[in-house]
Amino acid sequence: MRITVVGSGYVGLVAGACLADIGHVVILVDSDQKKLAALRSGEVPIHEKFLPELLQRHRDRNLKFSGDLQAAARSSEVIFIAVGTPPTEQGEADLSYVESVAREIAGAIDGYKVVVEKSTVPVYTSHWVRKIILRHGVKPGSFDVASNPEFLREGTAVADFLYPDRIVVGADSERCASLLRAMYAPLVEGSYYSRADAIPRPDAAHIPPPLIVTSTKSAELIKHAANAFLAMKISFINAVASICESVNADVKQVCEGVGTDRRIGPRFLNPGIGYGGSCFPKDLMAFRAVARECGYDFRLLDEVIRINEDQRNRFVRKVRSALWTLRGKRLGVLGLAFKGGTDDIRESPAISLVQTLLQEGCQIAAYDPAARERAREVLNDSVELVDNCYDAARGADALLLLTDWEEFSALDLSRLYREMKYPIVIDGRNLYSPEHMAAQGFTYYSVGRPAAAPENQPAARSQVGDADPS
């Protein structure tokens, strides 16, 4: 098929590259000429596994870049809208970019086309996209509007697109549903997976993936409901971790006991410094706004958000409990992206914590394998951005682990010990065993587990919230 994807941001770029990889001819449209020039020259604007390979494979063949939306739309059967939907001050999704694209698409409909919402949008967006196009004189039978939400995780987005848990197609006509079934046929029928050049299969991938056809309104709700539920799991286990700290229990053991229940599962039961990124915070606020408009007070979402914000405050108190006063202390920080595997620092809890600690008067040397340049734009010269983990640790009063990059869980602990002024590690991602760190000479704090210290040193102070049974 010939497909247009409007928007070369995270979702649009990944979707366009993957649709090209399963055999379609894709035109990626953006109004930013500088971004288009960079893509045409071979630059990859985001850190995402397998994306450089797909762009190299399909650039100027199955994947082309254009600034002319109407020309691209006229030549295509399916038009994806993948533009930004940033939150307003009230927490609602700003749909002005979606509306602008819908108006422009209206002028290009000269035969039957399917307009697909790929951006994360609130319920009723498809209704309004259709209404906008009709207001521009387009005949009702010459197009359909569908919802095809993405379920991509940054760092594994290409694999998530090509090996999805499910494909959700929200369509209100059989003609529309049939066209989108045909578009996804290489995945749903499995032909893509037999190719020698297919992206490697992730562990536990379900092949072929199920394709679920719903109404457009149901599909729009599925995306928000899924992200809200996952954020709730993260906040829930962080709340449990706080109780574990109070009673001197081990949240890792609690997670194992809870996560082996097949009704619950272990995924997202990872206590830490809270969720971040471009999706969860924005989508929870948008879903809460939708519920409010519908007359439902979704107070559960309020608590999920509150727990997530409090988790960062608890971590700062944990740093203070390890160091007493913070002004003038030198801290090494490992991780600035909101999660490992990406250079995305949007709503990053690591960045938020660094900014708070700077306000407390700390001096910070930080290292991130991919997010250094993006972090520099936000932190400017307030933080020393270094080239490796050991440079961050050098002369530090304490080392903070804030992002779950794989390389951070395989540090040379002997070298780390030698580099630090005081061997204190405060782990916001629970990457190490407390017993192992204590055996290596470190005083070690983590989330939801008792603090640990070497036998020849005084026991580590109780963590914030710890109860004294005496």
Alpha-carbon gap, residue 393 to 396, rounded angstroms: 5
Burial label for 23, CB within 10 Å (0-12, 13-18, 19+), is middle
Residue extents of the structural domains in the chain: 2-214, 233-306, 313-445
Alpha-carbon gap, residue 413 to 235, rounded angstroms: 31
Dig out the tokens for 118 from the structure: 């790929």
DSSP 8-class letter at 145: E
- Which pLDDT does position 89 carry in this prediction? 83
- Which pLDDT does position 455 carry in this prediction? 83
What strands lie across the sheet with 330-334, from one edge to the other? 384-385, 363-367, 330-334, 398-401, 424-427, 443-445
Q: Which of 311, 430, 458, 346 is closest to 84 using CA atoms?
A: 346
The set of catalytic residues is: 279
Dig out the tokens for 147 from the structure: 């919802």
* 313-445 has the same fold as 233-306: no
Dig out the tokens for 127 from the structure: 């209704």
313-445 homologous superfamily: NAD(P)-binding Rossmann-like Domain (3.40.50.720)
233-306 homologous superfamily: N-(1-d-carboxylethyl)-l-norvaline Dehydrogenase; domain 2 (1.10.1040.10)
Alpha-carbon gap, residue 191 to 141, rounded angstroms: 32
**2-214 adopts what CATH topology?**
Rossmann fold (3.40.50)
Q: pLDDT digits over 378-426, tens only?
A: 999 999 999 999 999 999 999 999 999 999 999 999 999 999 999 999 9
Q: Which of 376, 386, 382, 372 is closest to 332 using CA atoms?
A: 386
Segments of the chain scoring below 70 in pLDDT = 456-470
- Which pLDDT does position 456 carry in this prediction? 66
Q: Which contacts qualify for 315-321: CB closer than 8 Å, 24 or more apart?
A: 315/273, 315/353, 315/426, 315/428, 315/447, 316/353, 316/356, 316/357, 316/360, 317/464, 318/426, 318/445, 318/463, 318/464, 319/357, 319/398, 319/400, 319/426, 321/445, 321/461, 321/462, 321/463, 321/464
Q: Which residue has the tokens 């899924």?
A: 226
Q: Which residues pair with 149 in a beta bridge?
A: none
